[in-house]
Structure 1
């Protein structure tokens, strides 16, 4: 079982010099509300001290300190309350894993400190000054308030996990849940680092006291935190792999044409416009493929120029190839050439329908084109 020096911070007691019992109890109540571990035990202890505070408010505490017959018992009571404060404070500021590993030792320490406080309260010179009926009733209520200090079921599970010499990944999930609940304002990785720092402080304290048994426990707890960190890193790597795979799938999601080459009849109006005025449809396709504005007139001039050297089909299939590369669509130069050779109108309709589908699914920022060059009117 852990001793008082191993659980409570004796250094904290020296900082409470000059505070009376009522002020000390107020500090205990505040500290109990901020406890990270043994929360129920801390609140039970604070509730018991609140009953004592209600009794002491019936007395003139400064006057009791001036009297020789009550000064020493009152000081003993205050010292016991200080030890209780240090115990509650340890549940809030010391290592979460260490305090859970102490487990029942902390619960027994709460009971021991409460019994000590109750004994100091029953000292005859102090009690003899209680004359009112309400004060007597409060004293009886204190005597009947025999708190049972124990461990919560959740704390028992976590204690079994951290004391297990062969922790598994399931243990890692339990610890992650507990640490996240204990440090609600911190991400899990930062909470884990904070625990490591506190465990290192606990280790230095135990080594300074030449306490080998507690040093071994703390060494084990540090190994547990390293294991949890390893599992967390492994989970991050797996998540990164999944993200990469998802991104690859996203890139290859449109690996085929969204519409069939011979499906131009599904949009008769577009098919007729392209048949009678191919330069209009081709200019819009070329604008997206080349990522710069191409007017219908420019497209018509290019088509006429390439027609003179009998390579109009080669020019249009090159534009189709650029469009395929832009949208990551499978195919080759021969496929592009044959598509425009067999039916240039069908190929242009398929290409423009693909542009419209991609524009609606990816958003305008993915299909934006450069504006035309500045134009000037000749005088």
Structure 2
């Protein structure tokens, strides 16, 4: 018993150093990181299984998926949809590929392009699964994602914020 107490060292507490009032006022503030030309990572804005809203897009994706694919492809290149025609080249290419049973490959490539452009995590296996098994839902999710990101800019909520200058106040 005496051996246990022999190893305990006394605890010495030092008082906290007094800070000058100026030092207390000039504490650094945490700021949000600012991205310059980089893509911030985020997730899909809409869930994959949220594919019944809006109803008009749901009907287009089920009955005329080539038009949804073509519109998304056009929006990726031109967010304002200037010069958009429902029967565009991308629509026709997707239709021809789908006729051969290869439309899911174009949907997969579009999905990967969207993920890369907006920094959305995921992998090719997941993209392939959704493009092959649920192409209507995948096309809807892709269209809604690009539409929403185009409306909000490139996905960033805040641009450059100029830091406030430091002020030296006179001592009193």
Which residue is equivalent to 2:40?
251
Q: Any stretches of 5+ residues in structure 2 without a counterpart?
A: 1-16, 156-172
Which residue is equivalent to 2:19?
168
Q: Give the Cα separation in 1 of the matches to 2:101 and 2:122.
A: 24
**Structure 1 outlier segments of 4+, above 6 Å:** none
Which residue is equivalent to 2:57?
270
Measured on the aligned residues, the alpha-carbon RMSD in Å equals 3.2
Contact 2:61 2:139 in 1 (8 A): yes
Which residue is equivalent to 1:359?
150
* Cα shift readout 1:283-338 (whole Å, capped 9, x = no counterpart): 12112334587753312321144346543211111011111112211111111111
Which residue is equivalent to 1:280?
67
Q: Give the Cα separation in 2 of the matches to 1:298 and 1:335.
A: 27
Contact 1:289 1:326 in 2 (8 A): no
Query: Which residue of 99, 102, 120 corresponds with 1:329?
Result: 120
Contact 1:324 1:330 in 2 (8 A): yes
The answer to which structure has the higher helix fraction is: 1
**Displacement after TM superposition at 1:170 (Å):** 3.2
Aligned length: 133
Q: Any stretches of 5+ residues in structure 1 without a counterpart?
A: 1-165, 177-230, 368-379
Q: Give the Cα separation in 1 of the matches to 2:99 and 2:65.
A: 17
Contact 2:58 2:140 in 1 (8 A): yes
Structure with the larger RCO, 1 or 2 (CA within 8 Å, 6+ apart)? 2
Which residue is equivalent to 2:107?
316
Q: Give the Cα separation in 2 of the matches to 1:301 and 1:169.
A: 73
TM-score (normalizing by structure 2): 0.61
Contact 2:69 2:94 in 1 (8 A): no
Contact 1:290 1:322 in 2 (8 A): no
Contact 2:43 2:120 in 1 (8 A): yes
Contact 1:289 1:320 in 2 (8 A): no
